[in-house]
Amino acid sequence: MKSAAVDIGSMGCRLLIVDGDSGVRIRRSVDTTMGGAGPLSNGHRKAEAISDDALGRVADVLAGFCAIINEYGVESVCAVATESARRATNFGDLNALVMKTLGVPLRLLDGDEEARLSFLGVCTDPSIVADADKVVVLDIGGGSIEVVIGVRGDDGQLAPTQLCSLALSSMMLSRQYLHSDPPKPEELSAALSVVELYVDDLRRHLPQLGEVLAHPNTVVVGTGAIGTIAAVEVGVDESPLDGIGDGPLHAMVMKRNAVEEVFRTLATESRADRAHNPGLPPSRVDFIVGGCVVLVEIMRQLGLESITVAKRGLADGVVHSQL
């Protein structure tokens, strides 16, 4: 039996198809154009309606996914949505669209479910966490961030022990604080200060965090916008990548000084210049500085010297939880 997961995120949609008997990933498709064509949300931390433009873009993407699902003869489909859909006042319209196109109801994940499934998705590649006794997974999304602490148990398996989801995102910071082109120093300082406050919340939600990060055999893994920042660092745009592979950035280790350098470069460029950066897809041009702010300040506040990039995440966790 083949199973598929469709992840409708704030700025893009993902499809993953897995063979149920072997657990092998046989097809993935990623559409990251929603950021430029109308993301699900406006980046505010309040309830808001998904625009008709965004719903239209989702309809187009899902129609393409449906063709792929039929081509592969998929028997089981699960569609999920996250933070922007959680705040949507017209979630019923999005759900109806998914039902019409894919024939399944849209599962609205709460923050804890999103964090847990993202952690599971990262762990579907044992090599990325093979030697770790403890793992911290950080997912910077368009609508929220999720942080999960995982500890290896007596059975040898990594399992989440503490997790949280915060309404902090690259889109929110970009839309609410970074108004100038390029952002003014005072705007960047304000955005960094906001992230610092969220890190304080993070420490309260995850009391084990300091101890786990101090452990010598802990691996910190990043997904979401962190992959885009890595792509900018090496100049490889993976957004058109389609098929079964994870791509050249998977398991790449980014040092903090490299992340700081990407931040300095992107934050001092105009939007027009930023758009020419190799590795930066057009849909992320408006929000990548906000993503850099989140990652840079989290690494500074938590004393992280490096982070390992994972190209697997929520969709992988969803489909493997089905199996």
Long-range contact pairs involving 174-179 (C-beta distance under 8 Å, separation at least 24)? 174/43, 174/286, 174/287, 174/289, 174/290, 175/42, 175/43, 175/44, 175/290, 176/43, 176/44, 177/290, 178/289, 178/290, 178/293
- The pLDDT assigned to 22 comes to 84
Q: Are 206 and 134 spatial neighbours (Cβ–Cβ below 8 Å)?
A: no
Residue 13's SS3 state is strand
pLDDT in tens, 27-74: 988 886 665 545 676 665 677 888 888 899 999 999 999 999 999 999
- The pLDDT assigned to 283 comes to 81
Q: Are 65 and 102 spatial neighbours (Cβ–Cβ below 8 Å)?
A: yes
The pTM of the full predicted model, rounded to 2 decimals, is 0.92
Instruction: Look at residue 240 and tell me whether its pLDDT is greater than 70.
Output: no
- The pLDDT assigned to 17 comes to 95
Expressed in percent and rounded to 5, the helix, strand and coil fractions of the chain are 45, 20, 35
182 closest CA partner among 256, 288, 84: 288
Least confident of 61-75, 224-238, 303-317: 224-238
Mean pLDDT value of segment 154-164: 93
Q: What angle do CA 123, 124, 126 make, to 5 degrees?
A: 70
* Structural domains of the chain, ranges and CATH numbers in brackets: 2-112 (3.30.420.40), 122-316 (3.30.420.150)
Burial of residue 204 (number of CB atoms within 10 Å: 0-12, 13-18, 19+)? exposed
- Between CA 25 and CA 66 the distance in angstroms is 17
Residue 79's SS3 state is strand
Q: What share of the chain has pLDDT > 70, as a percent?
A: 93
